[in-house]
Amino acid sequence: MATTTMTAGAASRHEGWQHAWRLLAAVVLGVFFWFLTALQLPRGYVHDGGYWYVVGDPLVALACLTALVWRRRFPLPVTMAVAMASAVSVLATGAAFLALTSIATRRRPVETGAVMAAYAAASLLAVELYPVRDSPPSLWHHLLLAALSAGIAAAVGVAVGARRAEVSSLRERARSAEREQTARAAQARTQERNRIAREMHDVLAHRISLVAMQAGVLDHRGDLTAGENRLLVRGIVDSSHQALEELRDVLGALRSDPGHPEPPQPSLDRLPDLVAEERASGRDATLTTTVSGEPPDTVGRTCYRIAQEGLANAAKHAPGAPVRVLVEGEPGHAVRVSVRNAPATTTVRLPSSGFGLLGLLERVALAGGTLDHRPTPDGGYLLTARLPWPDHHREKRA
């Protein structure tokens, strides 16, 4: 905000100096014509009654210069008034030139032509204002000079107007580019926040769900043996340590620490370990896979995350219910992942973040696949995803 205020103040001062410089140029030009006319007046003209030259002429010029202050607010009336006033004031010639140049910057031919005609008419009237010794040889000669001078002023004004339009266009482009850059930066920040949230959820949701489920069993089951209690407590400890390790790895990667390499991303080959962890925590989880070949890393990683999210959701919403994970596919077709859990056998529900399926939908969309989740007729729940698996070897042979 402070920078914007300083820039606006500097621009205002620069514009004020430009106005002052133009008025000064008009004064200098008017004084030049005034002295030039004085050199051509008869000797003793002022003492013989030509007081208008030293009194009225400068006053009219002063009024014209004052009127030029409002030339941008009332361009046509001010310019016409100054052009007509130059007929009775040689000193106002500079003001008339500035007014004509100013209105020509608007690049409106009708307005500019009308003012040029008024200026030429005023010049014809000014021929008889003072009895100069060396007047133009003919009226048409004087009209030609007036038209030439007005044309020069108008040409300068048109050039200045074109330059202003170009500068304004460049400034608008710069502002537009700055707005687009700001929007892209905001979009990049949003995407990065979403990516961080997705990674944190994928890493922690499954582990925390296991910990919560095992703790819930300890809390609600009073008939467990000492060995079963130790097994559950050991599972809680192991899952907590693994969650902390995975969280440390994710945070290290997000900090872009060169000394902390990015942890390897899981793929299809880690699915048996994932299901084994579920079984070790006391859940009835099975895995069936009929995948022929090794899919691309992106597809394999997405399949793992789908199964992980499905198992975590089953643990939250249907603790104790059997879960079946099915993965099937082949190159050139697609990989289909489904996670199906039976109806819940208990009313205990773990808290849900509400962002798991949303992040999973983003992952699947980035991989070019589709995701579907719905209740089953028997009261369970089914999560399915279909991911494209192109056959690059066949494409190369073709």
Q: pLDDT tens-digit profile of 90-113?
A: 888 888 888 888 888 888 888 888
The whole-model pTM stands at 0.46
Q: What's the pLDDT at 324?
A: 93
What percentage of residues in the chain have a pLDDT greater than 90?
7
Q: What's the pLDDT at 8?
A: 46
What percentage of residues in the chain have a pLDDT greater than 70?
75
Q: What's the pLDDT at 386?
A: 93
Q: Which residue has the tokens 């879960």?
A: 323
Q: What's the pLDDT at 335?
A: 92
With cut-offs at 50, 70 and 90, classify the pLDDT of residue 151.
confident
Q: What's the pLDDT at 383?
A: 92
With cut-offs at 50, 70 and 90, classify the pLDDT of residue 196.
low
Q: pLDDT tens-digit profile of 25-64?
A: 888 888 888 888 777 777 777 666 677 888 888 898 898 8
The pLDDT of 320-336, averaged and rounded, is 89
CATH class of 193-397: alpha beta
Q: What's the pLDDT at 13?
A: 60
- CATH 3.30.565.10 range(s) for the chain read 193-397
Is 90 exceeded by the pLDDT of residue 247?
Answer: no
Specify the range with the lowest mean pLDDT, choosing from 250-259, 282-291, 336-345, 357-366. Answer: 250-259
